[in-house]
Structure 1
Amino acid sequence: LQALPLTTLKIDRAFVGGIGSSAKSEALVRGIVSLSRGLGMPVVAEGIETDAQRAFVQGLGCERGQGFGLGRPMRADQLTEILFGGGPLGVS
C-alpha cells in the first residue's frame, strides 16, 4: 500500500454490512481503521445503513462514511437547502 499513490482507504460495504452479525467483519473493519491511522490516511466506511453500523465505525474513529443510513441520494438544490437552510440533517 505504501508504494501505491493512495490518499484514502475505503472500507467495503460487505464488511460494514456484517457489523453486528459477524465478528470477522467487525475485526476487518477495526483492522482497516487501524491500518489507515498507521499510514496517515483518512478512511471512509461505505454502505452504512443502520444506526448500529454508524455508531460502530464512529466509535473506531472513522469520521467519513457513505450510505443510506446517513442520507438518501438527492438533487444539488436539496443538499444546498440542508447545508445552508437548516435542513433535516442538522448540519452545523
Structure 2
Amino acid sequence: MARMIITGAVAFLFLASLVASQSADGPVPAVETAAAEPNCCVDFHSWAKNTGCSPEQSDDCNTWCQSQCRGGECKPRGGRHFCHCFC
C-alpha cells in the first residue's frame, strides 16, 4: 500500500514538473492556435490585423467580429474594444 502511494506521488510530481516546464517555455501551441481562430464565448484581443481598438474603431471591429464569429460584437475591456464571439 505504501509503495502505491509513493509511486503515485512520484508520478504526480513528474507530471507537475512537465506542466511547469512547458509553462515556463511559453504558451502551449494549442492555446496559440485557439487565439487565432474565433470561438464561442471568448474575447479576442486580436481582430483582423489589429490588437484591440480604440472606441472610434468599434464599427470596424464589430464588422470583422460579426463576420468571423457569426454574430459577435466588440466589447470594451480595459479602455479598448475586443471581439467577443457569442455562443
TM normalised by structure 2 equals 0.30
Q: From the CA coordinates, give the structure whose radius of gyration is larger.
A: 2
TM value normalised by structure 1: 0.28
Structure with the bigger percentage of helix: 2
